[in-house]
Structure 1
């Protein structure tokens, strides 16, 4: 009878993170533990009446030295490529061609920026055209340049990381909003557990400072336009999300491989689960409960914090809040201060969860939220949640080493 090999332990050995709060874990720890001047980085004028948490200023040349590479990237690609470089630096892998040649990449990304002028012309013309079908076909053929279409391809982020940083193992790109980020991490972890690779670079990037992304959420009546408030507090006024620009990458590495090369772990990534249900008849609530119950036997009472990817949108927040209130686990909703970054949300929260368990402490209630309980005991575990603004539910478990 053939036996099944036990799962290999997976370590997080490198993290690259850029948000409105700064660059790297030390900057995030300091900002989240400070006062409002440290953690509230909000632009309420550029896209008024909508708010945005813009990415902190970075010296992009440090991670993307070639001017030609930088010039052909859009903002979200530069942000992601920069964060990927930070993660490789943190893991001690930068410029190690032997290891980078075997490193696998899993990226979560959306589409690129659009030509707003062309889009406006097409939409305006459709309103007045007597033959909207032929009109649309003609405009698509004549007005959309091939180079513009290529700039929108989601897998360009992976391509740019490969070119700039030399990560040339296998590459996968996931699209599909928040679930892309969850499944990118889930697949990388599963492959590591199954001995299908020793080194994985996984993460995503999102640029919130774009009119089209704000429009997408406004069409669903999901934007928060009232004065800033933590995500939980928005529910009494109908809920809403504030988008944030984020680049987040993790190096996930098999323990035996990391020990062999003398790499120091930040945290252990134990499990990631995901599901996609219809938001009706209690399906999402059931999905989350099943996922939580699967990991609950591993949780240490009093030593676990939840790092939540709550969007602020009323329905999804209610689903998640009901579960968390029943489990009575202290929660930190990072979107209150870094904004919601869709595909990059889950990798970013895995990074922040690793930061907390590595330091053995939870940050104070995020954004001064009165809906988040204080936590004074040593943190040994973090459960990372993701309940998408429209679809998708996922959980991850990060543990101290």
Structure 2
């Protein structure tokens, strides 16, 4: 059996509530900035997308118009990652670049939904009314909600990424599996280079309503993740896109590309959540599979704030006190499918900058840790289901 290929992270694209690009994010993280909006969707809290000129990565206005915000965010972040990797516009590479995208159900047309609901409430839902609305009021790319694979399709149209394409659905677990499968394909030699990531628009009334049905939303006043009421908890949705360019070491070296870091392992699980403590047990069972070299280090957590899963994640983390923890949920909000690739991106960025960004946690659970990290663990557990761990390492 041939030896697994080393997989490098050669491109990183991030757009979020903190801004766009690596320098803007690094500066914001080190300054401890957090961007939240407590009034626009009150009583719900969101981390809104920072001002972005989409023209920079999606130059055709027609392309922008046929996308809803979640697609524009994802396509924009994908373009940043391709620029970062130095492959933007390289048709030879893009024509064979694989793409693995994690996506939700797409955005609904709120105006059409409201028209139908109002008509029903007033008793005006005549025969054929619903079909008429669906045929005449929805754009062709909608079937009540936008197709999930439209993000990958628009990345192909706008940026020319035309290798194999896979779209995974399943909220947080979808992006963990996307990273796992991309890593496995490149490590085994089935692929040379891949674009992996997700985009999420947290400023959506339909999502806030959906998650309110499950009592998942943080309400009233923003609080850092580890400060939230453990008797209830909740997440503040965030808008963000995060994409990575992954490629084999040999492929990167052949084109003279420099790595930010390498992705060494991704392990996943699906704990039986009805059993108390199942999430902590799941994470603990996956921990040895990372092959860590030390009982001290750095860890980026995608904890959501939802209970009881967040308390179980914290219990797991407390069993590894040598690891300095950082929560993306405090800073970026919860970005569902984007949360895991965002954690991978921040880990690779931190390794490339020679430091972990400082804590942003008034409880003291997150601690300072000096030194240049050689390994960073990325941890994610879905608010409803799915867990995963990844190991990002410095390239030697």
Residue 115 (structure 1) shift: 2.0
Q: Which residue of 2 aligns with 1:324?
A: 317
Structure 2 counterparts to residues 2-401 of structure 1, below 5 A: 4-35=1-32, 39-123=33-117, 140-145=130-135, 147=140, 149=142, 152-236=146-230, 238-281=232-275, 282-295=277-290, 297-302=291-296, 304-328=297-321, 329-401=323-395
Is the contact between residue 307 and residue 382 of structure 1 (CA under 8 Å) also seen in structure 2? yes
Separation in structure 1 between the aligned mates of residue 127 and residue 239 of structure 2, nearest angstrom? 34
**Measured at CA, do residues 139 and 321 of structure 1 come closer, stay the same or move farther in structure 2, by a change above 3 Å?**
farther
If the length of structure 1 is used for normalisation, what is the TM-score?
0.92
* Bigger shift: residues 224-233 or 280-289: 280-289
Return the structure number with greater helix share.
Answer: 1
Separation in structure 1 between the aligned mates of residue 225 and residue 47 of structure 2, nearest angstrom? 13
Structure 2: gaps spanning 5 or more residues: none
Is the contact between residue 42 and residue 220 of structure 2 (CA under 8 Å) also seen in structure 1? no
Separation in structure 2 between the aligned mates of residue 217 and residue 93 of structure 1, nearest angstrom? 38
RMSD: 2.0
Residue 370 (structure 1) shift: 2.2
Is the contact between residue 334 and residue 366 of structure 1 (CA under 8 Å) also seen in structure 2? no
Consecutive aligned runs of 4 or more in structure 1 exceeding 3 Å deviation? 120-129, 135-140
Q: Deviations over 1:313-359 (max 9, x none)?
A: 12110111111001112110011011100011101110001111222
Q: Which residue of 2 aligns with 1:132?
A: none
**Measured at CA, do residues 140 and 400 of structure 1 come closer, stay the same or move farther in structure 2, by a change above 3 Å?**
farther
Q: Deviations over 1:42-91 (max 9, x none)?
A: 11111111111011111111111111111111111111111101000000
If the length of structure 2 is used for normalisation, what is the TM-score?
0.93
**Measured at CA, do residues 53 and 137 of structure 1 come closer, stay the same or move farther in structure 2, by a change above 3 Å?**
farther
Separation in structure 2 between the aligned mates of residue 292 and residue 358 of structure 1, nearest angstrom? 24
Separation in structure 2 between the aligned mates of residue 124 and residue 277 of structure 1, nearest angstrom? 41
